[in-house]
Amino acid sequence: MRKYLRKYKKKKPLISIITVVLNGERHIEKAIKSVLNQSYKNFEYIIIDGQSSDKTLKIIKKYKSKIDYWISEKDKGIYDAMNKGIKISKGAIIGILNSDDFYKKNALKIVSKYFSKNKSLDFLFGSIMKNRLMSGYHPEKIKWKFNIYPGHSSGFFIKKLVHDKIGLYNTKFKYSADYDLIYKLIVKYKFKGMCTKSNEITGVFRTDGIGSKVGFLGKLSEETKIRIHNKQNIFFVCVLCVLHLMNFIFNKIKNI
């Protein structure tokens, strides 16, 4: 059942934060606290659990009086869970926070400032900590690389109206549906995005999430499929794939 726990202010953008989790007992509590303790209070918090079998649900229930909506049921993967959250969200802006990651205290305050001052802004990347500081946004490089922005979880915020136009995450991509979404935002629809300043850090992205479990070939295969799916020149995509593979092999040999 949906509960509105905070008195929302119409003059400030309502931000919907979606946390997806499956057996995340190690870090889920820190993620939850990082949302609930935000200095910016005009948000709703949604948790989508994939029917965890560890202590995740016990932790969620500990904070259920402060969570606007949560559900625990089987899903078809992390992006299917994100889509569930997006569909029920009521905010003008949507942020994704995976259970392994957490927000800095002023994250949503920073996000609100950018969207309020830049009315034509469609999506925003917050600077994040991921082993080191990750900042900057380089859309011109998406033709040959996908890591053109700091990070998805804890650093990506998008207007709900944009999702209404381009759709949700494509669940045919198991590990990199966020790349597919970003490609469409930049190349197909030419929406306006930007990144916060390097000292405006929105969150911390842990490196032991789902992406860390994918090998190089699995990642390269899915990224290639994303480019072909989005109708990028197939000859160029094939050449790009070979170059990435050669570079990987070269680095392997060099490190022997």
Q: Is 212 exposed, middle or buried (0-12, 13-18, 19+ CB in 10 A)?
A: exposed
- Comparing 136-140, 142-146, 219-223, 249-253, which segment has the lowest mean pLDDT? 249-253
Cα(148)–Cα(139) distance, integer angstroms: 6
The pLDDT assigned to 1 comes to: 46
The domain tally of the chain equals: 2
Phi, psi angles (nearest 5°) of residue 56: -55, -50
Instruction: Judge whether 196 and 150 are in contact, CB under 8 Å.
Output: no
Q: Answer whether 0.85 is exceeded by the pTM.
A: yes
User: Of 205, 144, 211, which Cα lies nearest the Cα of 177?
Assistant: 211
Question: With bands split at pLDDT 50, 70 and 90, how would you rate the model's confidence at 208?
Answer: low
Could you tell me the residue range of the domain that residue 61 belongs to? 15-212
Q: Is residue 1 part of a domain?
A: no
202 & 227 share domain = no
Q: Is residue 181 part of a domain?
A: yes
State the average pLDDT for the chain: 93
Q: Is residue 4 part of a domain?
A: no
More confident residue, 225 or 215: 225
Q: Is residue 21 part of a domain?
A: yes
Average pLDDT over residues 146-169: 96
Cα(46)–Cα(119) distance, integer angstroms: 25
